[in-house]
Amino acid sequence: MQWLPHITVATIVEDNGRFLMVEEHKAGRNVLNQPAGHLDPDETLIEAAVRETLEETGWDVEPTSVIGIYLYTAPSNGVTYQRVCFSAKAVKHHPDYQLDDGIVGAKWLTRDELLAQRDNWRSELIIRCIDDYLAGNRFGLELIRPSL
């Protein structure tokens, strides 16, 4: 069996203690996640984070830092994901933007509200990324090097 990790990005967008989250329909139920998704061919990690956030929430964002790089193997399917999590500031909302298929909508939730919905998390990476953000983990965007 060939092992192929999946490269993904996620974005932490915070406004007065509330975090921009995505409610999506996955495997027959609604789950919560940060705006997140796979890196597409010929795009940078930063471009992927901006694109995924817009496609899943209708928000334009400006990445400000890297929160962390996480390795996660999903217990549901055994797939390994390498997630690069960014922090970003919200720039502009497009309320009529056509969100990706499977996206129910965007929600602004506090950490406590998220904890109360733990059974609805897509993965444990949600709280890990938020807690790293709240702990002040910030790495400059120059950490991310584009291909030559």
Handedness of CA 40, 25, 5, 71 (dihedral sign): positive
- Domain chopping of the chain, boundaries: 6-140
Q: Provide the b/e sequence for 3-40 (b: ≥16 CB within 10 Å).
A: eeeeebbbbbbbeeeebbbbbbeeeeeebbbbbbbebe
Q: What is the mean pLDDT of the chain?
A: 94
Cα gap 5→100, rounded to integer Å: 23
Other CB atoms within 10 Å distance of the CB of residue 95: 7
pLDDT for the residue numbered 145: 85
The whole-number pLDDT of residue 27 equals: 80
Cβ atoms of 19 and 132 within 8 Å: the answer is: no
Please report the sign of the dihedral spanned by the C-alpha atoms of residue 105, residue 122, residue 100, residue 64: positive
pLDDT tens digit string along 131-145?
Answer: 999 999 999 999 998
Summarised one tens digit per residue, pLDDT across range 58-95 is 999 999 999 999 999 888 888 888 999 999 999 999 99
pLDDT for 148: 64
Pick the CATH number of 6-140 from 1.10.357.10, 3.90.79.10, 3.40.50.2020, 3.30.420.40: 3.90.79.10
Identify the band that residue 125 occupies on the pLDDT scale cut at 50, 70 and 90: very high
Beta strands 6-15 and 18-26, pairing class = antiparallel
Phi, psi torsion values for 113, nearest 5 degrees: -65, -35
